[in-house]
A and B are shown apart, each in its own frame.
Chain A
Amino acid sequence: MSAAIQATIEFVKLYWAPLLCGVVIVAILPLIVGYIVLVERKLMADMQARLGPMRVGPHGLLQPIADALKLLIKEDIIPDNADKLVFWLAPVLSVGAALLSLAGLAIGPAFQIAQDINIGILFVVGISALGIFGIVLGGWASNSHYSLMGALRSSAQLVSYETAAGMALVSALLFTGTLNIKSIVEAQSKEGIWYVMLAPVAFFTYLVASIAETNRAPFDLPEAESELVAGYMTEFSGFRWSLYFLAEYTNMIVVASVATTLFLGGWLRPFSHVPWLNFLDFVPTLLMVAVGAYCIVRVPKQPVRVQQMFMMAVAGLCFVVGLVLAVPVLVPIAKPFYAGIHGGFWFIFKVSLYIYFFMWLRFTIPRYRFDQLMRLGWHFLIPLSIINVLLVGVALIAGSYFNLHGWGLLLVTTPAAVIALVAALLILAAEKEHDERQQPNTASDFYAG
């Protein structure tokens, strides 16, 4: 009898729990993406000395829901000469690839949909790369020149930057010796140092390449509004358009999670192996309490009673989350939940910071021209990442020769990073000189418009 129960539990754990998690994620993700967009608009407004969305809810907090409703009930327009089937398929492909790649990610040690796949990081990267078909086929099926141009640009961009990103991943993976996401984070925990310190050049390369891969400013050439209307999305409207949008922001989450896992220590607290820094465990609680207190302070400023109540509710939510985060640290019985809860917090926190950085860049750096983008990719990032892989390998061999571990590895990896950077800059300078000597003025090319 108990064996049967055991088998049932095993079956549920194996098949139904991941399925449930998947459904929950797919259901919540549009909401999360909506709020990322709200944060982005607020940040943009802040950097441009405006207020941003303010009307729907206090400080525009309900704006994403209004936007989602608007997108859902908009008329669905398919161009007459479009390839109907491919037009239908393309956004689905894009969003499907992005959502599927989420399955491999580990949000904290306890929460991962596809548990412990051996090829973890490759799965995430490989599947999310399939989203490009959505862009290319969507651009082609629209039967419009702007769309096609946007699709061509995007595929050229993604193919070029994927190489640099892959090489950056390789140089970080040299330290771990495994592809399994959990083992990668555990390796960082064992070394007591995050790989962003050991492989700064790889992190930089991945950062730039990931911006290019998610088609975000300053590399948002595929949808450059001033040149191509909206690139591959020109002919898409309403729900289909929002699917592309969802895919784009999900991809942001995916690249941010990959960078967090591989370079920023995944779900580890900063300095998780230094006992006298254990007070950092209270940081999550304090952060939540601070946000809640700010909400309460702002309550009297809200014009309408409903908005005041909403603000109170947000504050209450923050306090509850803070309490949940405080319990595993304070109550000894709840200790087993510490890793899961705080791991989840730190992971989400790091991912948010990464995405926040993306937004900063978007409003700080002007858009690149297409030939500049290609030059940056092929003449700088790819040589840099290849040299970096070589030098990181050499540094690792030197490290094992001198028997260095943890922070000691910095002794060999820092010179390697410096040499890689200098070499790549020299290559870039040489290329530039060579180009200038040959043809002084050939800045434009086919895709440049």
Chain B
Amino acid sequence: MLDKVLFYFFAAIAVASAALMVTRRNVVHGAIFLITALLAIAGIFLQLRAEFLFIVQIILYVGGIMVLFVFVIMLVNLDVALQQIQFARKKWVALLVALALAGQVGLMVWSSGKMPGQGLPVLTAAAAEHLPPNSETVAHSLFESYLLPFEIASVLLLVAMIGAVVMAKKRT
């Protein structure tokens, strides 16, 4: 019961602030609503007993990426930015993408009802105490089962980082 209340609470906040994020004309307000949406999603992770994902979401997205976003927005002259066209009105492309996304989500939901074990995994509710500790589970799957993909991703990120440094160096 409490779980359901929490889920719908966070989900409502996430959806509402996502909508507000897109529609605000003021970029800083948009950023604030994006933060709220990310925090609400972190709340959903916590409600699902994924405490490690919860804190990673907060540290990385809210505490890291969003701080950089806001930092960049501070440097933009907002009065000038407000005069400019903020939306690229490509209606047909947008419609196509939205339809594709809706189709995907619908298919997932539909197939999860049809075939148990396929599509959306529907877990039976387990008591929170019986779940394995989250951070350990993530660590085991990252560094044991999926070590190679993890290393490939790390190398990719390293390449991106070095690329960014090189590009920043060039201009001075």
Is B55 touching A119 in the complex (CB atoms < 8 A)? Answer: yes
B6 to chain A, nearest CB (A): 13
Is B59 touching A122 in the complex (CB atoms < 8 A)? Answer: yes
Q: Does A204 contact B (CB under 8 A)?
A: no
Which A residues, 42 to 81, have Cβ-Cβ distances below 8 Å to chain B?
none
Q: Does A194 contact B (CB under 8 A)?
A: no
Q: Does A348 contact B (CB under 8 A)?
A: no
Q: Does B99 contact A (CB under 8 A)?
A: no
B120 to chain A, nearest CB (A): 26
Q: Which of B28, B59, B68, B135 contacts A137 (CB 8 A)?
A: B28
Q: Does A118 contact B (CB under 8 A)?
A: yes
Interface string of B65-97 (1 = CB under 8 A from A): 011101100110000000000000000000000
Q: Does A179 contact B (CB under 8 A)?
A: yes
A88 to chain B, nearest CB (A): 12
The interface residues of chain B lying within 8 Å CB-to-CB of A347 are none
Is A155 touching B59 in the complex (CB atoms < 8 A)? Answer: no
The interface residues of chain B lying within 8 Å CB-to-CB of A125 are 59
Q: Which of B59, B62, B66, B74 contacts A140 (CB 8 A)?
A: B74
Q: Does A129 contact B (CB under 8 A)?
A: yes
Is A137 touching B70 in the complex (CB atoms < 8 A)? Answer: yes
User: Count the A residues whose beta carbon is within 8 Å of the partner chain — how many?
Assistant: 29
Q: Which of A89, A126, A140, A162 contacts B58 (CB 8 A)?
A: A126
A140-B74, A155-B70 are known contacts. Are A130 and B29 too (CB-CB below 8 A)?
no
CA distance A122 to B59 in the complex (A): 8
B8 to chain A, nearest CB (A): 19
A86-B28, A118-B133 are known contacts. Are A133 and B55 too (CB-CB below 8 A)?
no
A122-B59, A137-B28 are known contacts. Are A159 and B71 too (CB-CB below 8 A)?
yes
The interface residues of chain B lying within 8 Å CB-to-CB of A118 are 51-52, 133-135
The interface residues of chain A lying within 8 Å CB-to-CB of B71 are 136, 152, 155-156, 159
The interface residues of chain B lying within 8 Å CB-to-CB of A425 are none
Interface string of B118-137 (1 = CB under 8 A from A): 00000000000000011100
CA distance A137 to B52 in the complex (A): 28
Q: Does B35 contact A (CB under 8 A)?
A: yes
Q: Does B32 contact A (CB under 8 A)?
A: yes
Interface centre among A127, A130, A155 (most CB of B within 10 A): A130
Q: Name the interface size band of chain B.
A: 20 to 34
A136-B74, A156-B71 are known contacts. Are A126 and B29 too (CB-CB below 8 A)?
no
B24 to chain A, nearest CB (A): 11
The interface residues of chain A lying within 8 Å CB-to-CB of B28 are 83, 86, 137, 140-141
CA distance A130 to B62 in the complex (A): 7
CA distance A157 to B19 in the complex (A): 32
The interface residues of chain B lying within 8 Å CB-to-CB of A129 are 59, 63
A86-B29, A86-B32, A140-B28 are known contacts. Are A126 and B74 too (CB-CB below 8 A)?
no
Which A residues, 100 to 152, have Cβ-Cβ distances below 8 Å to chain B?
117-119, 122-123, 125-127, 129-130, 132-133, 136-137, 139-141, 148, 151-152
CA distance A125 to B63 in the complex (A): 10
The interface residues of chain B lying within 8 Å CB-to-CB of A133 are 35, 66-67, 70
Give the nearest-CB partner of B39 in chain A: A130
Is A136 touching B67 in the complex (CB atoms < 8 A)? Answer: yes
The interface residues of chain B lying within 8 Å CB-to-CB of A117 are 51
Is B135 touching A179 in the complex (CB atoms < 8 A)? Answer: yes
CA distance A52 to B62 in the complex (A): 41
CA distance A148 to B67 in the complex (A): 14
Interface string of A162-194 (1 = CB under 8 A from B): 100000000000000001000000000000000
CA distance A136 to B58 in the complex (A): 17
Which B residues, 34 to 61, have Cβ-Cβ distances below 8 Å to chain A?
35, 51-52, 54-55, 58-59
Please give the residue numbers on chain B whose beta carbons come within 8 Å of chain A beta carbons, in ascending order. 26, 28-29, 32, 35, 51-52, 54-55, 58-59, 62-64, 66-68, 70-71, 74-75, 133-135
Nearest 8 CB-CB pairings of A with B: A126-B59, A129-B63, A122-B55, A126-B58, A119-B55, A155-B71, A126-B55, A119-B51
Please give the residue numbers on chain A whose beta carbons come within 8 Å of chain B beta carbons, in ascending order. 83, 86, 89, 117-119, 122-123, 125-127, 129-130, 132-133, 136-137, 139-141, 148, 151-152, 155-156, 158-159, 162, 179
Sampled A-B contacts (18; CB under 8 Å): A83-B26, A86-B29, A86-B32, A118-B135, A119-B51, A119-B134, A119-B135, A126-B63, A137-B28, A137-B32, A139-B74, A140-B70, A152-B75, A155-B67, A155-B74, A159-B67, A159-B68, A159-B71
